[in-house]
Amino acid sequence: MLTSAPAAVSPNACAVEAAARQFLLSLKKDCHLLVAVSGGGDSFGLLTALDEMRIASGRPDVRLWAATVDHGLRAAAAEEAAWVASRCARLGVAHRTLLWEGEKPASGLMAAARNARYRLLGGEAERIGADAIVLAHTMEDQAETLAMRRARNGSALASGMAGRTLVGGAIWAVRPLLHVRREDIRAFLNARDLRWIDDPSNDDTRFERVRMRRLLHNRVEVLANEAEKAARAREALSLRAAALFADAVTLHDGIVAEIDAGRFASEHDPARYLLNILIPALGGLAYGPGGAALDRAMALCAAPHGARMTAGRCLFEKHRHSLFILREGRALVDAEIAPGGAAVWDGRFRIENRACEPRRIRAVGDGADDPDHIAGLPRRLARLAGAVRPAVPAASGVSCSPYLAPFDRFLPGFDLALANSLAEAFARPAYPDPALAYLR
């Protein structure tokens, strides 16, 4: 449904212009931006402001391209995408509609839609050679995100959205409107007599974000300020975790982490943060276990020799003064990779098949023929580590490289230094530096 704002114009409508100007002035010369535009007030306001302020701020060299994701979940979505395309044509901005095709999950639909949206936007950015994706998340979105994360994990240390997030390990998605109120974006559009589309799902209380929005009332600015402080605190903690990783963790063959248990016990907060990254990296999951599992892992640092536990698909075992972490030898599923295809196996390795026949990738398993393959490990752990490696025959046309599940889909800017520390240890290329990707 098309909507226009009330006639009165908020004096804060200029906040949209200011945010767009500040963002444009931060960009490198001839920067190419892919703007995600749903047709809602936030994203249409963002595109309009960027288009206007390119000239007003002396940045006509910045190129804009727009994309609308049609998730195929509402009958009106195709019509709305066509409306966005027509508005982009009026602005002289190239536009493309991206379709989420295939079956939709019966549960976890919103998370799946989010993953599909970013995958499609990342693919479009690569296709057109964009330097960054631009998203229209607002102060309200930031406040809602912080409140939801606090409600889920009960932690006062939860953070909101990062100002930028690396998508697919390849391109930065940037949020220049996180300090702008939604009502100011509407006022900005109203001052230009522009309309937008209201998505009915924004009022559907089946969704957590909608329910949280109704609870926040006038706490938006307070929560947004808290999110800003939390972001600074998280980045500082992540930097401490990166330093601890360099000093107190040895990675064996990209499969086993050997931790100086005494150092971890003496540096509780960065150690706990680091464990919540190391565990999913070694276990092949996107997220760490958090909560009680981390408490148990930290307690294991002070446990006697031989103590062990499992969490996040990982085995933890104490040997003298070291805590070892590696993938458990269970639920290791085979993967069939077509000729010329690629896939992520077990969330830990990216496998490419350059052969002319399909290849089936499985774990080495108990048939590992060299338990001493990984030097420096206790024999039992070397045997277990050998069993969870992918079996990749020599000269098979198959290549294998480490995949970092916590970072390779979404890497929040808070964690860039830590992610690059892990990438170096796993013999991976560094993640793209925003200063080189799209900034001056």
**Domain segments of the chain as ranges:** 2-229, 237-329+413-427, 335-402
Any binding-site annotation on 433? no
User: If you search the block for the tokens 């727009």, which residue do you land on?
Assistant: 66
Any binding-site annotation on 39? yes
Any binding-site annotation on 421? no
Q: Catalogue the E-assigned strands of 140-204.
A: 164-167, 171-174, 196-197
Partner residues linked to 96 by β-bridges:
67
Please give the distance of CA 34 from its chain centroid, rounded to a whole number: 17
pLDDT for the residue numbered 78: 94
Token representation of residue 193: 């007599």
> Strands 196-197, 2-3: parallel, antiparallel or unpaired by DSSP?
antiparallel
Each residue's pLDDT expressed in tens, for the chain with a length of 440 residues? 556 544 444 448 899 999 999 999 999 999 999 999 999 999 999 999 999 999 999 999 999 999 999 999 888 999 999 999 999 999 999 999 999 998 999 888 888 999 999 999 999 999 999 999 999 999 999 998 898 888 777 565 688 999 999 999 999 999 999 999 999 999 999 999 999 998 666 666 666 666 777 677 788 899 999 999 999 999 999 999 999 999 999 999 999 999 999 999 999 999 999 999 999 999 999 999 988 999 999 999 999 999 999 999 999 999 999 999 999 999 999 999 999 999 999 999 999 999 999 999 999 987 655 555 677 899 999 999 999 999 987 778 999 999 999 999 999 999 999 999 999 999 999 999 999 999 99
Q: How far apart are CA 426 and CA 431, in angstroms?
A: 12
Token representation of residue 204: 């559907």
Any binding-site annotation on 322? no
Q: What is the sign of the dihedral through the CA atoms of 355, 356, 359 and 364?
A: negative
Return all residues near 422 (Cβ < 8 A) that are at least 6 apart.
245, 277, 278, 281, 404, 407, 428
Tell me the CATH number for domain 2-229.
3.40.50.620
The crossing angle, in degrees rounded to 10, of helices 416-425 and 268-283 is 50
Any binding-site annotation on 38? yes
pLDDT for the residue numbered 211: 74
Residues 81/39, Cβ–Cβ less than 8 Å? yes
284 phi-psi bin (left φ>0, alpha ψ -120 to 50, beta other):
left
Return all residues near 389 (Cβ < 8 A) that are at least 6 apart.
253, 255, 363, 364, 368
pLDDT for the residue numbered 154: 58
Edge-to-edge strand ranges of the sheet holding 398-402: 342-345, 349-353, 398-402
> Strands 132-134, 32-36: parallel, antiparallel or unpaired by DSSP?
parallel
pLDDT for the residue numbered 162: 97
Any binding-site annotation on 260? no
> What is the pTM (predicted TM-score) of this model?
0.92
